[in-house]
Amino acid sequence: MPYVVVLPDGAADEPVPYLEGRTPLEAARKPNMDWISTNGRQGCAVTVPKGFLPGSDVATLSLLGYDPARYYSGRAPLEAAARGLSIGPEEQVFRCNFVTVVDGAMEDFTAGHITQSEAERLIDDLNSRFAEEGCRFYAGVSYRNLMVTGAAPDREAACTPPHDFPGRPVSQHLPRGPGAGWLARVMHSAHDLLAEHDVNLVRRDLGEGPATDIWLWGQGRLKSFESFHSRFGLHAGVIAAVDLVRGIARATGMEIIDVPGATGYLDTDYKAKGEKAVAALNSFDMVVVHIEAPDEAGHLGDAAAKVEAIERIDEQIVGPLIERLRRCDEWRILVAPDHPTPVGKKVHTSTPPPFCMAGDSVPADSTSAFSENAAAHSGLHIDPAHELMEYFLRG
């Protein structure tokens, strides 16, 4: 039996005045997701357990069947795993965003989606500047980068993701704890380096947002994972453009399937992802497809872009997968946003997101189109969400 899991990151939302009081999921034309709902089941899952921040790291681990209380240590170690970095057992890995701070406020946590070549030049110079500080910087994708530092008691701190306080003063969200002073010094020194960097001078001349600062967060040390195959007996392939999900795949022994044109942003190649996922069903027991675009639209506060992203996922990814699956005698498909990213708030929330599933032996007990409200009023509520994978595969 082939299985498919589609993860439209941050697709869940709240009613939006611009959409006449509907959520983007309700406003979007998504006949394929609605078909799954009305020919199967929909419900809600608690993807963010109490005590955890509502991030894609925690929520995606939950949806893939891994209890964050046991496996989660931070976002950055998972991204390091995606890149195959050699990290010592006592070293800490930090996510290092290039950001734009204006008048003391977080104007853009992506530094205007700085280009890859520009980010790599900045990372090279950060490595030169901090070589004697025991810090190593690694380029990721655009603004998403990593810093690795040796173990030291004065480097432990609580850090806030930069996308959690758009437009608000950074002074209210600086690192806290024993390592706060050290981290603040690193960030301040990086600010001085970036201030007159050639990359930023050119970006300013072009009217583009400069990378004024680095923001360190999501730190931790990678834990050992039980493989997905050992847990569920399936050979799984993962299609994802963002290092976080690719890192979870690598840590859990799933195979990463590369898709040229997949960007982790609104301009990702949805059609290519759909075609690659359909082809992958010839080689894998399960195919997982992650799409970052709805989350990016949520952070931008752009309801129209979020509706468009959901519609393109439905048409170019979910639709072709259903068509391919229905040629099999037995199959199952699950569509599950990891968390809401409401366009009215521009940040993640921990409200349990909806999911829908259909296929062999899945009872058709829903008559409603797929939406947050319909799922909330269904009789299917999975708490905690790391039990959803077992239910999807065996229930």
In whole angstroms, what is the distance from residue 338 CA to residue 379 CA?
Answer: 20
pLDDT of residue 89: 83
CA geometry: angle 271, 146, 214, nearest 5 deg: 105
pLDDT tens, the chain, 395 aa long: 999 999 999 999 999 999 999 999 999 999 999 999 999 999 999 999 999 999 999 999 999 999 999 999 899 999 999 999 988 888 999 999 999 999 999 999 999 999 999 999 999 999 999 988 889 999 998 999 999 998 665 678 999 999 999 999 999 999 999 999 999 999 999 999 999 999 999 999 999 999 999 999 999 988 899 999 999 999 999 999 999 999 999 999 999 999 999 999 999 999 999 999 999 999 999 999 999 999 999 999 999 999 999 999 999 999 999 999 999 999 999 999 999 999 999 999 999 999 999 999 999 987 899 999 999 999 899 999 999 999 999 98
Q: Which domain holds residue 11?
A: 3-72+224-394
Same structural domain for residues 42 and 99? no
pLDDT of residue 163: 92
Domain-embedded: residue 240: yes
Paired tokens of 375: 């799922």
Same structural domain for residues 35 and 128? no
Q: Which of the listed residues 220, 247, 275 is the one where a domain comes to its end? A: 220
DSSP 291-340: E-HHHHHHHHT-HHHHHHHHHHHIIIIIHHHHHHHTTSSS-EEEE--SSB
Same structural domain for residues 276 and 298? yes
Domain-embedded: residue 81: no
Same structural domain for residues 339 and 239? yes
Same structural domain for residues 356 and 228? yes
Domain-embedded: residue 80: no
How long is the chain?
395
Paired tokens of 296: 């990016």
Same structural domain for residues 247 and 267? yes
Is residue 238 classed as helix, strand or coil in its secondary structure? strand
Q: Which of the listed residues 180, 202, 220 is the one where a domain comes to its end? A: 220
- Provide the CB-side half-sphere exposure for 239 (13 A, CA): 31
Domain-embedded: residue 338: yes
Same structural domain for residues 152 and 288? no
Domain-embedded: residue 78: no
Q: Which of the listed residues 191, 220, 249 is the one where a domain comes to its end? A: 220
Cis previous bond, 260, omega within 30: no
Amino acid at 73: S
C-beta atoms surrounding 196 within 10 Å: 8
Q: Sign (positive/negative) of CA torsion 31, 33, 39, 43?
A: negative
Q: How many domains does the chain have?
A: 2
Same structural domain for residues 205 and 254? no
In whole angstroms, what is the distance from residue 390 CA to residue 63 CA?
Answer: 10
Domain-embedded: residue 79: no
In whole angstroms, what is the distance from residue 204 CA to residue 352 CA?
Answer: 41
In whole angstroms, what is the distance from residue 321 CA to residue 284 CA?
Answer: 14
In whole angstroms, what is the distance from residue 300 CA to residue 317 CA?
Answer: 23
Domain-embedded: residue 373: yes
Same structural domain for residues 66 and 164? no
In whole angstroms, what is the distance from residue 149 CA to residue 128 CA?
Answer: 15
Q: Sign (positive/negative) of CA torsion 354, 358, 363, 368?
A: positive
pLDDT of residue 153: 58
Cβ–Cβ < 8 Å for 184, 241: no
End-to-end Cα spacing for the chain: 14
Q: What is the DSSP letter of 353?
A: P
pLDDT of residue 348: 96
Domain-embedded: residue 86: no
Same structural domain for residues 357 and 322? yes
Same structural domain for residues 280 and 234? yes
In whole angstroms, what is the distance from residue 98 CA to residue 115 CA?
Answer: 11
Paired tokens of 334: 């699950």
The CATH number for 249's domain is 3.40.720.10
Same structural domain for residues 253 and 385? yes
